[in-house]
Amino acid sequence: MGRYIIQRLIYMLITIWVIITVTFFLMHNLPGSPLKNEHKIPPEIKEAILKQYGLDQPVPVQYLQYLGNLMTGDLGASFQYNGRSVTSLIMEGFPASLQLGIQAIVFGTLFGLFLGCIAALKQGTWMDNATTVIAVLGISVPSFVMAALLSYFVGVKWGILPPGLWGSFAHSILPSLALSFLVIATISRYIRTELLEVLGQDYMKTAKAKGLSRSTTVTRHALRNALIPAVTVLGPLTVQLITGSLVVEKIFSVPGMGWMFVNSIKVNDYTAIMGVTIFYGALIVLSMFIVDLLYGMIDPRIRLADGKE
């Protein structure tokens, strides 16, 4: 197990390094100068700005400097906010995004679990069909369409909840809801498949042959075995939530990381794009790593070598 963790850790670090490097060189080989919007600036000021951002150095030197700064958590200075540090921008936007993500995951997982279990246990009935339709719709209707509809109808037209901006919990309901559709769809589909698979296993017959009631066999024997592999969807789900947050935050004008990222893309704020890209990349790679470890910890079959003989 220890060896496995170290091996995964090394892969994770390599992947993150590749992401950093690719991001850096792509951003530094962009056609046109990063300061092209400001060509009316007098040359000496431009030079001063270049110097301030370290852009007067040769690219390899800049790369090493960037890597060095990264180690200390410094992602450089943003162009669009006149030299504010990208790290502080990220830290400012991250809490809102995290709150949305957690709310969406908690609500989506609970509701998705519920739907998936119902679909599997009542297989072939109208309830199963209804959850299947919900799941396919959740996967098919993109989160930004869902978000735009929610914002327009619930927010603007009926005025039940704030259609945008950030502040109270009420502001977070609609964006989390828009994000959670995908979570619901993914989780319910996965649980349904896994649970059906488990219900057909021989050991379920053994459990029934012991005289356990249906509810006991399901909760004690089936659910546990179905939930263990379901942990693995949490990795891809993180990616989906990040993807979703970019558009959902834009639609609801939530001042989170996604919104800031989309703005940076719009105004070609290269340091900010680089910083957020690397942050996202590390976040995704890290969550995959954690899911891997988690899976190994809760599945006794993988727990093999933990010396609990």
Partner 1 sequence: MASSSTENLTPEMFEPVDSDVNEQEALRGTRVSFWQDVWFRFRSNKGALIGMLLILAIGVMAIVGPLMNSYSYSEQDYSATNQIFAGDHWLGTDKFGRDLWTRIWYGAGISLIIAFLAAAIDLIIGVPYGCISGYCGGKVDNWMQRIIEVLYGIPNLIMMILLLIWLDRGIFAIALAMSITGWVAMARIVRGQILKAKNQEYVLAARSLGASHGRLLLKHMFPNVLSAVIVTIMFTIPTAIFFEAFLGFIGLGIRPPQASLGVLINDGFEMLRLFPYQIFYPAAVLSLLMFSFNLVGDGLRDALDPKLRR
Partner 2 sequence: MSEENLLEVRDLHVSFHTYNGEVQSVRGVDFQVKKGETLAIVGESGCGKSVTSQSIMGLIPQPPGKIRSGEILFEGRDLTRFSEKQMEKVRGKEIAMIFQDPMTSLNPTMTVGRQITEGLEKHQRLGKAEARQKAVEMLRLVGIPSPESRMNQYPHHFSGGMRQRAMIAIALACAPKLLIADEPTTALDVTIQAQILNRMNDLKKQLDTSIILITHDLGVVAETADRVAVMYAGKVVETGTVEEIFNRPRHPYTWGLMGSVPRLDLSSRETLRPIPGTPPDLLQPPQGCPFAGRCQYAMKICKTQMPETTEISGFHRTACWLEHPMSPAVTPPNEWVGGGSQ
Contact 163, 174 (CB under 8 A): yes
Candidates 12, 110, 161, 212: give the one binding partner 1 (CB under 8 A).
Answer: 12
**Pattern 207-246, partner 2, x by CB under 8 A:** xxxxxxxx-----xx--xx--x------------------
- Name which of 37, 48, 108, 12 is nearest 270 in CA terms: 37
Distance CA 180, CA 108 (A): 5
Lookup result for tokens 């009420």 = 170
Query: Is residue 246 close enough to count as binding partner 1 by CB under 8 A?
Result: yes
**Would you state the structure tokens that stand for residue 145, as one six-digit string?**
């369409």
Distance CA 262, CA 243 (A): 11
| Shortest Å, Cβ 296 to partner 2 | 13
Stretch touching partner 2 by CB under 8 A, among 111-119, 127-135, 186-194, 195-203: 195-203
Query: Is residue 181 close enough to count as binding partner 1 by CB under 8 A?
Result: no
Burial 217-256 (b: 16+ CB within 10 A, else e): bbeebbbebbebbbbebbbebbebbbbbbbbbbbbbebbb
Q: Which of residues 104-163 bind partner 1 (CB under 8 A)?
A: 123, 136-137, 139-142, 144-145, 148-149, 151-152, 156
| Shortest Å, Cβ 307 to partner 2 | 13
If you write DSSP's letter for every residue of 69-87 in order, what string do you get?
HHHTT---B-TTTTT-BHH
Candidates 14, 26, 304, 305: give the one binding partner 2 (CB under 8 A).
Answer: 304
Integer Rg of the chain from CA: 24
Residues that bind partner 2 (CB under 8 A): 201-203, 205-214, 220-221, 224-225, 228, 299-301, 304, 308-309
Binding site for partner 1 (CB under 8 A): 11-12, 14-15, 18-19, 22-23, 26-27, 29-30, 123, 136-137, 139-142, 144-145, 148-149, 151-152, 156, 196, 200, 239, 242-243, 246-247, 250-251, 262, 265-266, 268, 273, 277, 280-281, 284-285, 288
